[in-house]
Amino acid sequence: MLAFCGALLFAAADAWAQPDYGPALWNPAYPGHWYTSDCCHSFCVIHDMEGYYEATISYFQAQATQASIHYCVCSGYESAQNDKGDPGGQITQMVREQYWAWHVLCWNGYMFGTEHEGFVSSPAWYTTNMYQASAALQRHLCDTYGIQKDRNHIIGHNEWQNAAWRTWMTNNWPQIDPTCNNHTDPGQYWDWTYFMSLITSGAPVITQPPTNVTVAEGGTATLNVAATGQGPLTLQWQRNGTNLPGATFPLYRILDARISDAARFSVTASNPVGVAVSSPAYVSVVGALSNAPGAAPAPPGLINWWPGDGNARDICGTNDGQLVNDVSYSPGQNGPAFQFAGQNGSINISGGTEIPPPWTAAFWVNRQDAFGASAALLGDATNALKLEQYNQGRKAGFTHFGAGDYVFNYIAPAGVWTHLVFVGTSAGVTLYANGAAQATVTPGISLPRALLGADSLGDNMAGALDEIMIYNKALTASQIGALYAAGPMRAPQFGGPFSAPTNGLALNLVGLTGKTFTLFDSTNFVNWSRLATVPNPTGTAVFTDPGVTNQATRFYRLRQP
């Protein structure tokens, strides 16, 4: 592509290992495939690669290639979990800014070049990530080399087609022949209006979003962000979407991380021109495993257990999870629980293949009404256990995709912790709620294990899940009852404050959801009598003892099964 490439050979080894532009990777073109002296750096040229990102970088590294470029920008999409897996907007530098790459024939001695992943034949290459990353790069070049941020100086490889530009060039740069190139990139799908607005407005751009962090309890979780944009540029960190007071620096640290610190974090960059919001990063905190006093052994056949205690680890098997999109943690039935905001959140389970019958899946569920017509507890592309079956008035059920939606005549109460157990055999699926069998519905299905809180069709649930356990056996009714009764490692207790209405004393009772309180009383702390049994559908209840007077001393004791 070059008129006289090789006229100037650059023999010395490249002394720099760092890119000229901070966010870029440094991956040089074949040594010497650039000019070391020429006129000036006065323009920025926008190209597309006519190839995909890694192949094009490979091509520019080859000795036989008679072309080169300063920068390459990767296509790609907003990454759901933003853990740097999808490098949309990633930039690779291949030629030093102080030199001249071979990309535009007779314009080479005046112009920077940036290649964008993709082909002119599809609009699907030009992504928001790519525009934002490239705009920040062009702004860097313009600011560093005094290039005006307008369409006369930031041009397409096809700018020769633009008569107005040719005229402007003839008047302002008579030494350059504007017609020595005949190319068509970046083509009709390139959005110049949006791209130039990003460059000229100086709106903030998140160039390096924060990434997921996992720390041991007591350790330090560190989150970083990099953003560009015209000043004054301010940063603000959010935890689960809520601004963190004082967290306005690129670095955000959680010292002495506790389980309760686990959450979804994001950061906004703002300046007078606009606001940019980073994709989320999840902080996971891993606590030491210990059995609470009095804990009972789990029934046999337990293969997975996700406690949801500040991380998505499987503490029984090896199928750790990963939080995706609008998931975080909330107070659960035992320690923190997974909290699904309901739009698009899920937990992706690593290596979660299906389990043929028999199987058992147990959940503590705090249901909210889902946004969609269907909400899955556990699913994949073949099967799903449904907290809300499709178009069935929020009744629970299960689905074998392509075969049928099956429904139980049971609706989990909204806003109340409920213990749901699905037991699968080859004959059908049985649902237990708070230890009580509801119904068995045919047919039998395999248990999906790819996603918690969703399935492959979406079906994102809203609400919270805690202590998710999977068995490769069909648990019996008594085993399920024991599982429900074992529950969290928390004793029933009296919540404050006490109050004294006109007749008697009101007691606030706090304990395991769904498990009836038994209340005893005594006047001497020696002889106790059963005062009442108090239903407990929500985990808290109020009992008013009418026999209380100002004169007598009374003691109370509280128990749950």
Residues that bind other proteins (CB under 8 A): 1, 47-59, 61-67, 69, 76-77, 79-80, 85-87, 103, 115, 118-119, 121-125, 157, 182-185, 188-194, 197-198, 201, 203, 274, 320, 322, 348, 350-351, 380-381, 450-451, 456-457
Distance, in Å, from the CA atom of 484 to the CA atom of 464, rounded to the nearest integer, reads 17
Tokens at 559, concatenated:
């128990």
Distance, in Å, from the CA atom of 341 to the CA atom of 132, rounded to the nearest integer, reads 28
Distance, in Å, from the CA atom of 32 to the CA atom of 132, rounded to the nearest integer, reads 30
Tokens at 233, concatenated:
């540029």
CB of 25 to other proteins, least distance (A): 10
Distance, in Å, from the CA atom of 183 to the CA atom of 67, rounded to the nearest integer, reads 14
162 vs 184, beta carbon nearer other proteins: 184
81 vs 207, beta carbon nearer other proteins: 81
125 vs 484, beta carbon nearer other proteins: 125
CB of 183 to other proteins, least distance (A): 5
CB of 399 to other proteins, least distance (A): 15
CB of 54 to other proteins, least distance (A): 4
Distance, in Å, from the CA atom of 272 to the CA atom of 79, rounded to the nearest integer, reads 27
Three-class secondary structure of residue 106 per DSSP:
helix
CB of 85 to other proteins, least distance (A): 5
Under 8 Å between Cβ of 132 and 66: no
183 vs 419, beta carbon nearer other proteins: 183
* DSSP state string for 11-28: -SPP---S-SSTT-EE-P
How many residues in total does the chain contain? 561
353 vs 499, beta carbon nearer other proteins: 353
Instruction: Write 433-436 long-range contacts (CB < 8 A, 24+).
Output: 434/484, 434/514, 435/480, 435/481, 435/483, 435/484, 435/485
CB of 247 to other proteins, least distance (A): 26
CB of 185 to other proteins, least distance (A): 5
192 vs 498, beta carbon nearer other proteins: 192
Distance, in Å, from the CA atom of 15 to the CA atom of 492, rounded to the nearest integer, reads 69
208 vs 438, beta carbon nearer other proteins: 208
